[in-house]
Amino acid sequence: MKLQTLKVFKTFRVLEKFMIKKTFKIPDMTCANCAMTLESLEDMLDGVKEVVASYHKLQMVIEYDETQLTEEQIVAAVRKKGYTAVLA
């Protein structure tokens, strides 16, 4: 059991090296529901660790594995949800 936990931990640490955090402006986000819709990208896109959207700040911060996902793919996924994303 300990060996298996250690393997998972080592794998996670290696993967963490490729994790980056970027902020996107979302000018057409108007409510908390919009923010929740954008946060659902966390479950839709492979390689995403966390999405935090704020309609007060009109922005979305996304932490993701840059080896699995590109900025263009994020922008396209946001567009598919009905919003505009611009790298801040």
Whole-number pLDDT of residue 54: 97
Query: How high is the pLDDT of residue 1?
Result: 43
Quick check: 4 pLDDT over 90? no
Per-domain boundaries in the chain:
18-87
Query: pLDDT, tens digit, for every residue of 35-47?
Result: 999 999 999 999 9
Q: What is the CATH number of domain 18-87?
A: 3.30.70.100
- Separation between Cα atoms, residue 14 and residue 8, nearest integer Å: 10
Query: pTM to 2 decimals?
Result: 0.79
* pLDDT per residue as tens digits for the range 63-83: 999 999 999 999 999 999 999
Burial-class residue 47 by CB neighbours within 10 Å (0-12, 13-18, 19+). Answer: middle
Q: Is 49 helix (H, G, I), strand (E, B) or coil?
A: strand
Q: Tokens at residue 54, please? A: 């704020």
